Structure 1
Amino acid sequence: MTRDIAARRHRIILDSLERQESISVEELALSLDVSRETIRRDLKALSAEGLLAVVHGGAIRGERSEASFASRRTVNRAGKELIATLAAAMLGDGMTILLDSGTTTEAVVRALARTDRKRLVVHTTSLENARLASRLQGARVFLIGGEFDPNEDATSGTEALRAIGRLSADFSFVSVGGVDAEGRLTDYTRAGAAIRSALLNAAEQGFLMADSSKFGLVLPSRIGGDDACAGLLVDRLPPEPIAANLTRNGVRLIVS
């Protein structure tokens, strides 16, 4: 009986998000006549199934996690460019770097084109990053093999994980899908989180990157490798509770 009641609440929540882009915990608790804690548990369960994305104070439609690469490029572009400039400044001539398929790592390659870095060796899962990096002066570019994911315009899957496991690099720059209130670093899919975790761990110094649009966003899959993370590059400091929890989790914040 309890399970049936929860299932009915879940249907109502998803129906509400069909009619509007976002909804608050407070609004749902009032309309369903249950506690805010009950609603938070409901949202967490639906998020785990990929049916919606939890944000601070409520939830947004699950389709947001399926946003196209082109639309993601337009979100907080200035913040991503600040992070990219910071990342590019860390590199020296002849270094080997690993890049995932995020829009922020794409900004990193564009930032490198504005520097005088030479002879970089770039390994990436992203087709666009490979194309952009091939124009860098003296660069050697390697596209990491694996199953092609058209949503990411990148390779993924077990073959890509095996290939990454054989790599060693000076730096890796890995984008983050969301940074939740507990300071956890999350991604849209398990496959994406696995690739990003592997890239993070394959470098001497692995940096995660999250622009401020990611703060408070909860996504289903957690990016691992906290011990290998040299820092989280951000365009501005997160709200104090998130920043405190990141520090408590051992994640060093580096502000551009």
Structure 2
Amino acid sequence: MTRDIAARRQRTILENLDRLESVTVEELALSLEVSRETIRRDLKVLSSDGLLSIVHGGAIRNESSEASFASRRGVNREGKERIASVAASMLGDGMTILLDSGTTTAAVARALARSDCKRLVVHTTSLENARLVSRLPGARVFLIGGEFDRNEDATSGPEALRAITRLSADLSFVSVGGVDAEGRLTDYTRAGAATRSALLHAAELGYLMADSSKFGLVLPSRISGDEGCAGLLVDQLPPDQITAKLAENGVRIVTG
């Protein structure tokens, strides 16, 4: 229970930073009704995860707080490949697929490139995923336009959102940044969460994906409408509390 309370408190800190860009220890202690030492411990935890920078008297949000695509690539690679195998098993000839820019989605793109499917149409925000899927003979690959994020090697922003709303697809595969103790499916930034939400709902069946390294991770921006997704693809079942919360939130778990 203590860990859950700390996770909720840390999520609130990140939400405040997402809105205000900087916070003070004093303000957080007053608003959360805890000691300043407790807030300092929370800030150290979040700083060690790279989600904020501690400054004198408080903290600021890192513009580059999301770990880079390259640094995330090697985390739980085996689990991501298992998820990708499940995603690839859902494919059929002539389908239209939407992909976001996560490392788990890159594993899906590699699986698509190795598949026997014919005439696949793939729309993606990710440069790497576009290159990977283009190796599949007969595939048509479209890069969704928008502002380029070099940290993610992908597009996002209002232009990308407008482009996504004009798409219609059979399946979408969308990675999440974290699954917190309340079963909320989240991302590092509002822009990332908005893009992923749009991709999720632009397909007849939208699947979210989270490998086990994401379980319990507290991030500030929720992916909206997750209760309407076709399922959450995972490499192993989350801890019991998260599994129960996901069920309460209407999210079906599909294991690889």
Band the TM-score falls in, shorter-chain normalisation: 0.7 to 0.9
Describe the shift of the 1:93–1:245 C-alpha distance in structure 2 as closer, same or farther (beyond 3 A): same
For 1:40 and 1:112, the matched residues in 2 are separated by 36
Equivalent pair of 1:176/1:210 in contact (CA under 8 Å): yes
Describe the shift of the 1:60–1:244 C-alpha distance in structure 2 as closer, same or farther (beyond 3 A): farther
The structure 1 residue matched to 2:48, chosen from 45, 61, 66, is 61
TM-score, length-scaled by structure 1: 0.80
Q: Secondary structure at the match of 1:66?
A: coil
The correspondence of residues 174-193 of structure 1 with structure 2, limited to 5 A, is 174-193=174-193
Describe the shift of the 1:128–1:243 C-alpha distance in structure 2 as closer, same or farther (beyond 3 A): same
For 1:210 and 1:44, the matched residues in 2 are separated by 19
The structure 1 residue matched to 2:13, chosen from 30, 33, 46, is 46
For 1:254 and 1:100, the matched residues in 2 are separated by 19
Equivalent pair of 1:200/1:228 in contact (CA under 8 Å): no
Aligned length: 219
Describe the shift of the 1:99–1:40 C-alpha distance in structure 2 as closer, same or farther (beyond 3 A): closer
For 1:182 and 1:40, the matched residues in 2 are separated by 9
TM-score, length-scaled by structure 2: 0.80
Q: Which amino acid aligns with 2:255?
A: V
Describe the shift of the 1:60–1:243 C-alpha distance in structure 2 as closer, same or farther (beyond 3 A): farther
The correspondence of residues 79-118 of structure 1 with structure 2, limited to 5 A, is 79-118=79-118
Please, which runs of 5 or more residues in structure 1 have no aligned partner? 1-24, 27-35
- Detail structure 1 runs of 4+ shifted over 4 Å in the superposition: 39-42
| CA positional deviation for 1:113 | 2.2
| CA positional deviation for 1:226 | 2.3
After superposition, what is the alpha-carbon deviation per residue over 1:41-86, rounded to whole angstroms, capped at 9, x for unaligned?
65333322158xx99xx64535254222111010000000000010
Bigger shift: residues 109-118 or 154-163: 109-118
Describe the shift of the 1:128–1:158 C-alpha distance in structure 2 as closer, same or farther (beyond 3 A): same
After superposition, what is the alpha-carbon deviation per residue over 1:78-112, rounded to whole angstroms, capped at 9, x for unaligned?
00000001000100011000000000111001112
For 1:92 and 1:104, the matched residues in 2 are separated by 20
Are 1:151 and 2:138 matched, yes or no?
Answer: no
Are 1:229 and 2:196 matched, yes or no?
Answer: no
After superposition, what is the alpha-carbon deviation per residue over 1:101-129, rounded to whole angstroms, capped at 9, x for unaligned?
00011100111222211110000000000
Q: Which amino acid aligns with 2:190?
A: R
For 1:142 and 1:96, the matched residues in 2 are separated by 11
| CA positional deviation for 1:225 | 1.7
